[in-house]
Amino acid sequence: MANLNVRVGDLTLRNPVMPASGCFAIEYREAMDLNQLGALVIKSVSPKSRAGNPTPRVAETYSGMLNSIGIPSKGFDYYRREVLPPYTRYDTPVIVSISADTAEEFGAACAEMSLPEVAAIEANISCPNLEADGMAFAMLPETTYKAVAAIRRSTKHPFWVKLTPNAGDIAAVARAAEEAGADAIVMGNTVLGMAIDIRTRKPKLGNVMGGLSGPAIKPISLRMVHQCYRAVRIPIIGCGGIQSAEDAVEFMLAGASAVQVGTASFRDPAAMQKIIDGLQAYCDETGIASICDLTGRVILDRQLSDRWLRFAQQSG
Residues annotated catalytic, as ranges: 127
By CB under 6 A, is residue 190 in contact with ligand FMN? yes
By CB under 6 A, is residue 210 in contact with ligand FMN? no
* Number of residues this chain uses to bind ligand FMN (CB under 6 A): 26
* Nearest partner of 173 among 193, 189, 156, 192, judged by Cα: 189
3-state DSSP call for residue 263?
Answer: coil
3-state DSSP call for residue 60?
Answer: strand
Could you tell me the maximum CA-CA distance found in the chain, to the nearest angstrom? Answer: 56
Q: Which residue is nearest to ligand FMN (CB)?
A: 22
Question: Can you tell me which of 16, 22, 235, 255 binds ligand FMN, judged by CB under 6 A?
Answer: 22
- Residue 217 annotated as binding site: no
In this structure, the strands spanning 17-19 and 258-261 are: parallel
Q: 11 — phi, psi (to 5°)? A: -90, 135
By CB under 6 A, is residue 67 in contact with ligand FMN? yes
* Nearest partner of 149 among 115, 117, 178, judged by Cα: 178
By CB under 6 A, is residue 59 in contact with ligand FMN? no
By CB under 6 A, is residue 189 in contact with ligand FMN? yes
* Nearest partner of 188 among 231, 138, 238, 132, judged by Cα: 238
In this structure, the strands spanning 209-213 and 64-67 are: antiparallel
Q: Which is nearer to ligand FMN, 2 or 265 (CB)?
A: 265
- Tell which positions 220-249 bind ligand FMN, by CB under 6 A: 239-242
CB of 58 to ligand FMN, least distance (A): 6
By CB under 6 A, is residue 23 in contact with ligand FMN? yes
By CB under 6 A, is residue 144 in contact with ligand FMN? no
- Tell which positions 250-309 bind ligand FMN, by CB under 6 A: 261-264
- Residue 262 annotated as binding site: yes
* Nearest partner of 279 among 19, 6, 87, 93, judged by Cα: 6
Q: Which is nearer to ligand FMN, 145 or 251 (CB)?
A: 251
Q: Give strand ranges (E) for the chain.
A: 6-8, 11-13, 17-19, 40-41, 58-61, 64-67, 94-98, 120-123, 159-163, 184-187, 191-194, 196-197, 202-203, 209-213, 236-239, 258-261
By CB under 6 A, is residue 92 in contact with ligand FMN? no
By CB under 6 A, is residue 97 in contact with ligand FMN? yes
By CB under 6 A, is residue 43 in contact with ligand FMN? yes
Instruction: Give the dihedral sign, CA 154/172/212/252.
Output: negative
Q: Is 125 in contact with 163 (CB distance < 8 Å)?
A: yes
Positions at the binding site: 21, 43-44, 67-71, 124, 162, 189-190, 214, 240-241, 262-263
Interface residues with ligand FMN (CB under 6 A)?
20-23, 43-44, 65, 67, 69, 71, 97, 124, 162, 189-190, 213-214, 217, 239-242, 261-264
Positions at the binding site for FMN: 21, 43-44, 124, 162, 214, 240-241, 262-263
